[in-house]
Amino acid sequence: MKQTHALTAGLLAGLIGTASADTLHLKNGTTYQGKILSETKDSYLVEVMVTKSIKEEKTIARTDVTRIDREKLDETAFVEIAKLAPAPDLLAAEDYRARLELCYKFVKTYPSSPLAAKARAIAGELEKENDVIAQGGIKLGGKLVTATERQADKVEINARVLESSIRAHAKNSQWVLALREFVKLEAEYSNTAPFKDVLPFAMKVIQQYNAQLVESAAGLPKRLADRKVGLERMSSEDRNASNRAIAEVDEAVAKKAAEEKAAGIKWTTPDDFNKTSLDEAIRYSDQELKRLENLRTDAKVDAGKAWRDAWSAIQGSDAKVVVTALSDARSARLSNDLIAELEALAKKAGHMK
């Protein structure tokens, strides 16, 4: 799973565009915060922000100024650099490169800063991690997993990645996305420890999502009534334009719903102004909650272990052990694709014809 962070792009833009923010304290108690554009023996020319988008230049007499607090730009910029490490789980190589670019930019911009050494140290940490990621490794649970280790424990790690995605989406109240990831986890890795670990959490997600749907369905009549009143208050021209816009939205919602159902997506996207979609989502969440409450997860087979054992056996020299390990993998209900992958590796190693 690729996890792209807007943080890096935002920090890069902020670092490149950093401007000074000096604070001038005047004798009358007034303070001005902005950029000192120029100084003379008699005055300062200061650029201050009147609003978020409007700047104004002020000339301030030196005799009116009691103190100037000059911003240390390197310290301000380093606040964001310090956030770059440790890097979060599941970053792709391009995300590491973006973070490294920030560190390099800081060192280039402030080469004599005492913080440059810390920025180089952060870059060194990110470079080491990036080397592992670029070669097919992954960072999971705060630990780096090399490409070889990842392949040897492929099933468990893939399941953990999905579990992490479920929890991350739920943390952001992205219930539908979390539940779609849970569907993938159950379909492909139901006999793994991560599935068993996240099952109670997924049930809580469904409960929270269901409550949100029920609340939305209950408020639909009022929303429709309010919209009707709003339309009636409009001019004929504006009302016609709004009705066209509403019709376009309704058409797009219907099209998306049809596409999701045709694609076999179980957790479809409901619309807050569509009673049918809300009712369907409520029914399905009720249905899934009951099914999961009765789901048995006491099977002794562990698909993660089955893959690890088969992988380890294939690296050895005993063909009989390989045959037994592959049989155990099938019993653990690994997917056909995973079994085919193991068999291909066994053939390549000379254990099978």
What tokens were used for 260? 């999701």
Q: What is d(CA 77, CA 79) in angstroms, rounded to the nearest whole number?
A: 5
Name the segment(s) of the chain with CATH classification 2.30.30.100.
Answer: 21-70
Taking CA 342 as the corner, what is the angle to CA 164 and CA 151, rounded to the nearest 5 degrees?
Answer: 40
pTM of the model: 0.78
Q: What is the CATH number of domain 21-70?
A: 2.30.30.100
- What pLDDT is stored for residue 73 in this prediction? 84
- What pLDDT is stored for residue 17 in this prediction? 44
Has residue 250 got a pLDDT over 80?
Answer: yes
Q: What is the pLDDT of residues 54-105, one digit of tens each?
A: 889 999 999 999 999 888 889 889 999 999 999 999 999 999 999 999 999 9
Q: Which residues pair with 59 in a beta bridge?
A: 45
With a pLDDT cut of 90, the percent of the chain lying above it is 84
Question: 157 and 150 in contact (C-beta within 8 Å)?
Answer: yes
Question: 189 and 162 in contact (C-beta within 8 Å)?
Answer: yes
pLDDT band (50, 70, 90) for residue 12: very low
Has residue 18 got a pLDDT over 80?
Answer: no
> Which of 330, 288, 334, 279 lies closest to 182 in space, CA to CA?
288
pLDDT band (50, 70, 90) for residue 20: low
Has residue 299 got a pLDDT over 90?
Answer: no
